[in-house]
């Protein structure tokens, strides 16, 4: 218990270095390093070092108090000419300028009002302000963004704004944004640089500033006059002239660097990670950055480097993020029941992702850094599994394939895929991680090797995997049933209890649907819709009745799951069958193989695209690695 308490204290020290929200790369990497140290049991418990670390955080806090700027109060909102509640708080000239600019653009899409009922604050909610009471949307220390995506504007990921017609692609429409800034007088004499359109209050008049190129002015005290705040509005309506604002203020950069430096000292004092561990962390972060760069430069999608991806229009990720924002806003307003409801009375989409975001957003703000922390732990699980199968040399070779050389990427054995799925807002990345982590815990021949804590963790991880990816359900059901029967057969009845308790949270999904929807729905009500079940039983029946069109559709469908041009898929399926029928292999391995075969059979009916099937393929690949290794060694010896 003391160990867990100290781990929490060390994690809190890192959090205090950066403060909430933890929505920057420095905080993300520092917390990731601490999580690696905790999981790998490489925290150094020395009283002197701990006291010194507390002193560092205390000193940093004193420096921040003395050097920090006063807060800038910021409002952000999707502009709509039909938003009467927002128009009430806008100065007449600003409202008229915004309406005229929007009408002149003559866009092919509608900008629906975000405010649909009376409110005292018509500016958009931001998870950045969860532990704050902002005047508008949030309070910030400085303004510095090149475009709207740098500012992590959460309302842009509202599913209401989902237009992607007219060849807009996954980026969708460029919805009009309006900003309001209240600058305290401490920013007088600072240089304000911008491109786009600003409206600044000067001597009780609103003056329009417009420039297509970066232009700068000095904010002298005359702008404030006798007022406490300088009021600035900004419009970002036109994609060809994106709004950009920067106030030169080196104090915030200095404080950020001090936070990073302090966290590095604490990490060096309180952890004992080796170069191998640091390499895993570095490669995990690199994979995230590589996918973000690929998405931006090659995919021409808005940048995700701020930590808040602009979710693709028409994709599930947008809906998950939108639901999570609604939940966090409800929790901010002390409406716990609405947070628990998860924006749906009966789940249609898998609920796991919205709840993970709903838990992480209060701490990580309008970003996915909390989820990226989770998928960055995947290499720990993969390394643990590889260490059971290979010697050190081959372990490193396989890890190189996992990070750098994607020769096994068809099976999901590639860290960039975990980053890809999470950045795009899908639950597949975390689902695969939790499934493989549970696999790692349970894949043991000796029943006595299981501790109660391990079984609790495995059960919970499997429940979480199902909440994120429903196609894991048959595999997990058969796996848990098989292991439970095995425990009964070997007279280890007591082992079933912690496994069942760990898995029991899956029942909360059913309880949610019954409580809020007054209907018994085990998980979601979307399992049988045509868009999900591409190969229905009727399709199979028509094929058996010798209808060629139906058979062709079935073959095309199966080809998505098992590509006929890639024989290694067939090899892995054959390996699973070999494990099931081999007399030399253990019953535990047969249970795993049979459950995975059943997981593969799901794709005879449901779509087998990569993010649905990678979890099953990855577990199958790892289970087969010892067999493949033995066959290769045997063949090599025969040849010699």
Query: Is residue 377 domain-resident?
Result: no
Characterize 420-449 residue by residue with b for buried, 16 or more Cβ atoms within 10 angstroms of its Cβ, and e for exposed. bbbbbbbbbbbbbbbbbbbbbbbbeeeeee
Same domain, 133 and 257: no
Q: Which residues contact 376 (CB under 8 A, 6 or more apart)?
A: 32, 281, 284, 285, 288
Q: Name the percent of the chain lying above pLDDT 70.
A: 99
Report residue 322's pLDDT band, with 50, 70 and 90 as the boundaries: very high
- Quote the CA–CA distance of 608 and 562 in Å, as a whole number: 8
pLDDT of 1:
63
Tokens of 412: 């999901």
Query: Is residue 210 domain-resident?
Result: yes
pLDDT of 629:
92
Give me the residues paired with residue 360 across strands. none
Q: How much is the mean pLDDT over the chain?
A: 94
pLDDT of 2:
79
| 142-154: pLDDT as tens digits | 999 999 999 999 9
Same domain, 37 and 98: no
Same domain, 53 and 110: no
Same domain, 55 and 144: no
CA 165 from chain centre, in angstroms, equals 26
| 83-98: pLDDT as tens digits | 999 999 999 999 999 9
> Residue 208: enclosing H or E segment and its boundaries?
strand 205-219
Average pLDDT over residues 59-75: 93
Query: Is residue 376 domain-resident?
Result: no
Could you give the angle at the alpha carbon of 600 between the alpha carbons of 597 and 606, nearest 5°?
150
Name the residue with tokens 């079984």: 455
* Structural domain span for residue 258: 1-69+252-272
Average pLDDT over residues 476-501: 95
Domains identified in the chain, total number = 3
Average pLDDT over residues 379-385: 98
Query: Is residue 487 domain-resident?
Result: yes
Tokens of 466: 């199902």
pLDDT of 219:
94
Is the pLDDT score of 527 beyond 90? no
Report residue 440's pLDDT band, with 50, 70 and 90 as the boundaries: very high
pLDDT of 573:
96
Same domain, 460 and 572: yes
Is the pLDDT score of 446 beyond 80? no
Same domain, 526 and 628: yes
Closest to 102 measured CA to CA, from 166, 176, 207:
176
Query: Is residue 397 domain-resident?
Result: no
Same domain, 177 and 44: no
pLDDT of 528:
61
Is the pLDDT score of 608 beyond 90? no
Report residue 452's pLDDT band, with 50, 70 and 90 as the boundaries: very high
| 497-525: pLDDT as tens digits | 999 999 999 999 999 999 999 999 999 98
For residues 203 and 462, the model is more confident at 462
Same domain, 152 and 200: yes
Query: Is residue 359 domain-resident?
Result: no
Query: Is residue 207 domain-resident?
Result: yes
Average pLDDT over residues 592-616: 93
Same domain, 499 and 622: yes
The number of residues making up the chain comes to 640
Same domain, 455 and 528: yes
Average pLDDT over residues 103-128: 94
Average pLDDT over residues 227-256: 94
Same domain, 465 and 577: yes
CA 510 from chain centre, in angstroms, equals 24
- Tell me which DSSP letter residue 171 carries: G
End-to-end CA distance of the chain: 55
pLDDT of 447:
66
Which of 215, 248, 281 is at the close of a domain? 248
| 154-207: pLDDT as tens digits | 999 999 999 877 677 778 899 999 999 999 999 999 999 999 999 999 988 999
- Quote the CA–CA distance of 473 and 297 in Å, as a whole number: 37
Same domain, 63 and 115: no
- Quote the CA–CA distance of 331 and 362 in Å, as a whole number: 9
Contact 246, 194 (CB under 8 A): yes
Query: Is residue 365 domain-resident?
Result: no
């Amino acid at each position: 218990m003391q160990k867990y308490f100290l781990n929490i204290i060390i994690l809190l020290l890192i959090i205090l270095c950066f403060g909430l929200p933890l929505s920057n790369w420095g905080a993300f990497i520092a917390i990731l390093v601490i999580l690696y140290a905790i999981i790998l049991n490489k925290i150094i418990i020395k009283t002197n070092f701990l006291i010194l670390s507390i002193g560092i955080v205390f000193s940093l806090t004193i420096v921040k108090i003395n050097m920090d700027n006063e807060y800038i109060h910021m409002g952000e909102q999707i502009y709509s000419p039909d938003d009467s509640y927002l128009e009430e708080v806008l100065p007449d000239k600003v409202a008229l300028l915004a309406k005229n600019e929007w009408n002149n653009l003559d866009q092919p899409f509608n900008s629906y009002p975000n405010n649909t009922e009376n409110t005292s604050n018509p500016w958009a909610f931001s998870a950045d302000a969860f532990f704050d009471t902002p005047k508008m949307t949030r309070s910030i220390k400085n303004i510095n963004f090149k475009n709207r995506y740098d500012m992590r504007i959460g309302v842009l990921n509202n599913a209401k704004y989902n237009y992607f017609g007219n060849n807009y692609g996954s980026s969708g429409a460029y919805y009009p944004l309006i900003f309001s800034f209240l600058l305290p007088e401490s920013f007088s004499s600072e240089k304000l640089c911008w491109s786009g359109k600003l409206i600044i209050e000067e001597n009780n008049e609103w003056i329009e500033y417009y420039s297509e190129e970066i232009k700068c002015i000095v904010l002298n005290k005359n702008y404030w006059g006798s007022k406490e705040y300088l009021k600035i509005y900004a419009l970002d309506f036109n994609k060809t002239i994106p709004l950009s604002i920067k106030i030169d203020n080196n104090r915030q950069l200095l404080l950020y660097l001090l936070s990073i430096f302090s966290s590095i000292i604490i990490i060096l004092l309180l952890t004992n990670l080796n170069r191998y561990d640091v390499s895993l962390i570095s490669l995990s972060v690199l994979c995230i950055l590589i996918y973000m760069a690929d998405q931006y430069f090659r995919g021409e999608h808005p940048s995700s480097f701020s930590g808040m991806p602009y979710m693709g229009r028409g994709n599930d990720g947008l809906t998950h993020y939108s639901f999570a924002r609604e939940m966090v806003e409800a929790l901010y307003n002390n409406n716990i029941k609405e947070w628990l409801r998860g924006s749906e009375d009966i789940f249609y989409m898998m609920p796991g992702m919205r709840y993970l975001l709903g838990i992480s957003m209060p701490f990580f703000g309008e970003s996915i850094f909390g989820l990226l922390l989770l998928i960055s732990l995947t290499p720990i699980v993969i390394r643990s599994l590889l260490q059971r199968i290979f010697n050190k040399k081959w372990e490193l070779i396989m890890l190189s394939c996992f990070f750098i050389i994607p020769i096994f990427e068809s099976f999901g054995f590639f860290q960039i895929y975990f980053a890809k799925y999470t950045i795009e807002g899908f639950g597949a990345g975390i689902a695969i991680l939790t499934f493989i982590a549970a696999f790692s815990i349970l894949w043991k021949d000796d029943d006595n090797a299981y501790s109660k804590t391990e079984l609790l963790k495995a059960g919970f991880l499997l429940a979480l995997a199902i909440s994120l990816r429903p196609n894991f359900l048959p595999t997990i059901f058969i796996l848990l049933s098989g292991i439970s029967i095995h425990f009964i057969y070997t007279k280890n009845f007591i082992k079933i209890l912690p496994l069942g308790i760990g898995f029991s949270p899956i029942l909360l999904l059913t309880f949610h649907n019954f409580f809020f929807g007054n209907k018994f729905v085990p998980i979601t009500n979307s399992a049988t819709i045509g868009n999900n079940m591409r190969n229905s039983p009727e399709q199979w029946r028509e094929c058996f009745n010798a209808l060629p069109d139906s058979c062709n559709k079935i073959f095309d469908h199966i080809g998505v799951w098992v590509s006929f041009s890639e024989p290694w898929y067939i090899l892995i399926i054959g390996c699973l069958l070999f494990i099931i029928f081999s007399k030399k292999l253990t019953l535990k391995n047969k249970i795993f193989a049979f459950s995975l075969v059943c997981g593969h059979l799901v794709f005879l009916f449901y779509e087998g695209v990569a993010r649905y099937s990678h979890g099953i393929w990855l577990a199958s690949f790892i289970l087969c690695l010892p067999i493949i290794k033995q066959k290769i060694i045997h063949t090599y010896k025969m040849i010699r």
